[in-house]
Amino acid sequence: MKKQFKMVDLDCANCAAKMEEAVRKIPGVQSVTISFLTQKMTIEADEDQFEQIMKQAVKACKKVDADCQIQL
Amino acid sequence: MSRKQKKTLYRILASGILLVVAFLAPVEGWERFGLFLILYILVGWDVLWKAARNIFYGQVFDENFLMSVATLGAFAIGEYPEGVAVMLFYQVGELFQSVAVGRSRKSISALMDIRPDYANIQKDGQLVQVDPEQIKVGEEIWVKAGEKVPLDGVVLEGSSFLDTAALTGESVPRRAEPGTQLISGCVNQTGLLRVQVTKTFGESTVSKILDLVENSSSKKAKAEHFITKFAKYYTPAVVYGALALAVLPPLILGEGWSQWIHRALIFLVISCPCALVISVPLSFFGGIGGASKQGVLVKGGNYLEALAQAGVMVFDKTGTLTKGEFQVTAVHPNNVDSQRLLELAALAESYSSHPISRSLKEAYGKTPDSNRVSQVEELAGKGIRAVVDKQLVWVGNDKLMEEQKVQWHPCHKVGTTVHVAVDGVYMGHILISDQPKPDAAEAVQALKNLGIRKTVMLTGDSKAVGEHVAQELGLDEVHTQLLPGDKVEQVERLLKEKSPKEKLVFVGDGVNDAPVLSRADIGIAMGALGSDAAIEAADIVLMDDQPSKIAVAIEVSKKTLRIVKQNIVFALGVKGLVLLLGAFGMANMWEAVFADVGVSVIAILNASRALRT
């Protein structure tokens, strides 16, 4: 399943790259791109555990920059 | 500027003034330390806070953390003003950066400002505005002058001119009348139109285009991947370098600690790869935005990057280089006047809806009076036989003339020849052909000037027609009478022949060349205005079907790559230089701050040039 989420207050480009890297490592994530410019995350992951994966993704992003919020 | 940015600006201004005051204040020792410490906290509390929080999460190579270490380090070795000033300038740079990025982002989204906010529907005799997503296929909407067309549809009533500039880059308005297919995203300029919706909002052109452009940043160019990878190693390398610089020389050479710590702090200030990480994707984003302003939709940074290396350009003929519509291009009568010849042909063909009959009727100019025609018989693969004004008329190809033993002669021009005979007597022939698009020859020339080594045309059409068009347009190679599968084979062969550095581009109308579009390195489709298949299959879509836009796209691509290269060389050059000077004690904190945020700002400003084409 492929979904797009808005990322509010994504302030630094390097953080976006780090978040992308961190989310990619979550098991079950097939592909992910975080665009600093459009402030969006496009994620493709297994459908049956999507919610679980998104929870982990939020956690992983929080670790990189706690100010940035993913709108689920 | 956003509110957050304004607040930061005021804080920076206030602390700047206070810094000057503190610098001049006649205080010594602990009082001086206290004064600068208060100032330092005022300028950098948010950076310090973020640093502390991120360290808690284990982010050692976080830019806030490194900046905090650098400035606190300056305090530790007694350089109070420097510590505060570096933090201050870091904040100035960050603010600049966020404003510049915000601005480019805004100008790109302004380009794509085609999303309609509402649609007008009639309810109890009055027009009300509703969300376009709620409108179903078949419903009627009204589009007033000055409004955007919210959904694709057909005009039922009214006439107007439409501004399609946002979609195609074309400034000449298009006419809309009852029966005209409307594309969402166009702006209705003059009259009121009643429109029957043919596609839901999600399926409408405007949604598709917006999706495409917004998703384009998820297909990253090689240069972007390089930068992200580079950034991953750059920061740790510089930080370890700083550590080594601070510890090793004093231990080995036995020199003073503070001098070497100072040099190490300079390293920390430069350790963020921000300039590159922002400016490279921003350049591609800008390039894609700039191209879309010209009516060229690029589906990703990777395609924009690859386009600059295009070496072989393969074209489909019909609908791509030619208009894809048949037109009477010559009338060669035999002992009658040409209007009479056209009249005979148009009358005989009056009941047919074949494209050739249509073009004959169009050339005739009047509506043929079908009362004058009787006993029409279509002869498959040959033509038509009909009785016109009590005379037996034959209209058709060479085969038909042979069969009827008419004294005919072939046409010296290339195209589809339609012969006319009345009661067995040859009346002459009419030539029907598909005309090249007005800008096709110019487009091929422009591509050659841009360094395209080889231009090839592939067509299913006959040898004579194909070779004639290829010659007229100045193409290097032509292959005719190809079936769709043969086209794939030809492209495979060309892919094998080209050098590995070059890219092969296939340009088609997207109707039945999806396999070739996907096989080529880059697929460019025509006919996006209306054709979903084209948007789907291609990597680049020309919104207004003009082949000359390919050259425009290549120019945008080359410009974007130039900017990307400039930024990489500039940012790495300056950072490398300051690192080197810093290691030998010849650079100060100020230069380091410039190498960090100053370079970022310059690179961002340079990147925003990609947007202007």
CB contact under 8 A, A14 and B277: yes
Complex-level ipTM = 0.78
- In chain A, whose CA is at the least distance from the CA of B99? A11
What the block records as the tokens of B232 is 């991953």
pLDDT band at B442 (very low <50, low <70, confident <90, very high): very high
In the predicted structure, residue B212 carries a pLDDT above the cut 80:
no
Predicted pLDDT of residue B529: 55
What are B's interface residues with A at a Cβ cutoff of 8 A? 50, 53-54, 57-59, 63, 98, 101, 104-105, 108, 214-215, 217-218, 220, 228, 231-232, 272-274, 277-278, 281-282, 285
In the predicted structure, residue B467 carries a pLDDT above the cut 80:
yes
In the predicted structure, residue B564 carries a pLDDT above the cut 80:
yes
Q: What is the dihedral of CA B597, B600, B601, B602, to 10 degrees?
A: 120
CATH domain A2-71 topology: Alpha-Beta Plaits (3.30.70)
* Residues B293, B169 contacting (CB under 8 angstroms): yes
Radius of gyration in angstroms for the set of CA atoms belonging to chain A, rounded to a whole number: 11
Burial classification of residue B106, based on how many CB atoms lie within 10 Å of its CB (0-12 exposed, 13-18 middle, 19 or more buried):
exposed
CB contact under 8 A, A66 and B214: no
Predicted pLDDT of residue B340: 83
What the block records as the tokens of A72 is 């689920």
φ/ψ (deg, to 5) at B337: -85, 160
Residues 6+ away with beta carbon under 8 Å from B586: none
pLDDT band at B474 (very low <50, low <70, confident <90, very high): very high
CB contact under 8 A, A35 and B217: yes
- In chain A, whose CA is at the least distance from the CA of B102? A37
* Letter string b/e over residues B525-550, b meaning 16 or more CB atoms within 10 A of that residue's CB: bbbbbebebbbebbbbbbbbbbbbbb
Q: Which residues of A touch B231 (CB under 8 A)?
A: 14, 17
Predicted pLDDT of residue B217: 72
Q: Name residue B148's beta-bridge partners.
A: B187
Predicted pLDDT of residue A4: 84
- In chain A, whose CA is at the least distance from the CA of B211? A4
CATH superfamily of B327-433: Calcium-transporting ATPase, cytoplasmic domain N (3.40.1110.10)
The CATH classification of domain B301-323+436-538, taken from the options 1.20.870.10, 3.10.580.10, 3.40.50.1000, 2.60.40.420: 3.40.50.1000
pLDDT band at B523 (very low <50, low <70, confident <90, very high): very high
Predicted pLDDT of residue B473: 92
Percent of chain B with pLDDT over 90: 18
State the catalytic residue, choosing from B163, B316, B545, B596: B316
- In chain B, whose CA is at the least distance from the CA of A38? B214
Residue boundaries of the structural domains of chain A: 2-71
- Same fold for the domain at B114-208 and the one at B327-433? no
Residue boundaries of the structural domains of chain B: 3-109+217-285+558-611, 114-208, 301-323+436-538, 327-433
Closest CA to B534 of B518, B510, B506: B510
Closest-CA distance, B298 to chain A, in angstroms, reads 16
Residues 6+ away with beta carbon under 8 Å from B154: B179, B180, B181, B182, B195, B196, B198
In the predicted structure, residue B479 carries a pLDDT above the cut 90:
yes
**DSSP assignment string, B455-469:** EEEE-SS-HHHHHHH
Predicted pLDDT of residue B456: 95
In the predicted structure, residue B530 carries a pLDDT above the cut 60:
no
pTM for this one?
Answer: 0.80
User: Vertex B289, ends B283 and B295: CA angle to 5°?
Assistant: 140
User: A18-27, A53-62, B99-108, B569-578: which has the minimum mean pLDDT?
Assistant: B99-108
Choose the closest CB to A14 out of B101, B215, B272: B272
φ/ψ (deg, to 5) at B194: -100, 125
In the predicted structure, residue B2 carries a pLDDT above the cut 60:
yes
In the predicted structure, residue B382 carries a pLDDT above the cut 60:
yes
CB contact under 8 A, A35 and B58: no
Helix (H) or strand (E) holding B193: strand B193-197
Q: Name residue B374's beta-bridge partners.
A: B387
Quick check: helix, strand or coil at residue B610?
Answer: helix
Predicted pLDDT of residue B154: 92
* Residues A28, A68 contacting (CB under 8 angstroms): no
Choose the closest CB to B274 out of A14, A37, A42: A14
Distances (CA, A) of B492 to B303, B455, B515, B521: 20, 15, 11, 11
The CATH classification of domain B114-208, taken from the options 1.20.1250.20, 1.20.1260.10, 3.30.200.20, 2.70.150.10: 2.70.150.10
In the predicted structure, residue B358 carries a pLDDT above the cut 60:
yes
Q: Provide the sign of the torsion angle of the four alpha carbons A13, A18, A21, A24, taken in this order.
A: negative
Predicted pLDDT of residue B471: 92
The span from the CA of B445 to the CA of B262, in Å, is: 60
* Letter string b/e over residues B348-357, b meaning 16 or more CB atoms within 10 A of that residue's CB: bbbebeeebb
- Establish whether B316 is a catalytic residue: yes
φ/ψ (deg, to 5) at B260: -75, -35
Give the pLDDT mean for B432-449.
90
pLDDT band at B261 (very low <50, low <70, confident <90, very high): confident
Percent of chain B with pLDDT over 70: 96
Beta strands in B227-360 (DSSP E): 296-298, 310-316, 322-333
SS (H, E, C) B548-592: HHHHHHHHHHHHHHHHHHHHHHHHHHHHHHHHHHHHCCCCCHHHH
Higher pLDDT, B512 or B134: B134
